[in-house]
Amino acid sequence: MRDRHYGGYKKSRSGKKGSDQSFDDLLKEMRKGSSSDSDYRERSLKIHGLICAKCGREFTYKNRHLLTVHHKDGNHRNNPPDGSNWENLCVYCHDDEHSRDLLSDYLSDGE
Ligand SMILES: [Zn+2]
Ligand SMILES: [Zn+2]
């Protein structure tokens, strides 16, 4: 009856093949989507090193989350593999860099 039908459906869904496929799809989606953001970050850190391009402060793997990637032309989609559009800036210098133009709009909006 209904119970039997539902149970059979469940079995086929939790089969090995099914889970493998969904995991593969998940990986593909991660590579295509959200990971691209951290992907260029990791690459920029590798190319330019764990150091702020502005104040020269050096970072380690422990506090490297304080080091961010700035796009020189302001276009976050312009990510050349040679890193020519990237600049590693600490969060303070990055904030300062944007406070001149872009961030000032954000801040004036709040006041
Ligand atoms: Zn800095
Ligand atoms: Zn920036």
**Tens-digit pLDDT profile for residues 53-95:** 999 999 999 999 999 999 999 999 999 999 999 999 999 999 9
User: Looking at the structure, do residues 21 and 66 belong to the same domain, yes or no?
Assistant: no
- Which ligand gives the minimal distance to the CA of 94? 2
- Which ligand gives the minimal distance to the CA of 56? 1
List, in order, residues 6 or more apart from 2 with CB less than 8 Å away.
Answer: none
Give the span between the Cα atoms of 78 and 72, in whole angstroms.
Answer: 9
User: Looking at the structure, do residues 17 and 55 belong to the same domain, yes or no?
Assistant: no
**Structural domain of 92:** 38-110
Distance 66 CA to ligand 1 centre (A): 9
CATH of residue 81: 3.40.1800
User: Looking at the structure, do residues 94 and 48 belong to the same domain, yes or no?
Assistant: yes
Q: What's the number of domains the chain is made of?
A: 2
Report the number of secondary-structure helices (H) and strands (E) in the chain: 5, 2
Distance 13 CA to ligand 2 centre (A): 45
**DSSP type of residue 65:** G
- Which ligand gives the minimal distance to the CA of 78? 2
User: Looking at the structure, do residues 48 and 26 belong to the same domain, yes or no?
Assistant: no
pTM confidence score: 0.59
Give the span between the Cα atoms of 50 and 58, in whole angstroms.
Answer: 6
User: Looking at the structure, do residues 42 and 68 belong to the same domain, yes or no?
Assistant: yes
Q: Is 69 helix (H, G, I), strand (E, B) or coil?
A: strand
> Could you report the per-residue pLDDT of 51-62, keeping only the tens digit for each?
999 999 999 999
- Which ligand gives the minimal distance to the CA of 100? 2
User: Looking at the structure, do residues 101 and 67 belong to the same domain, yes or no?
Assistant: yes
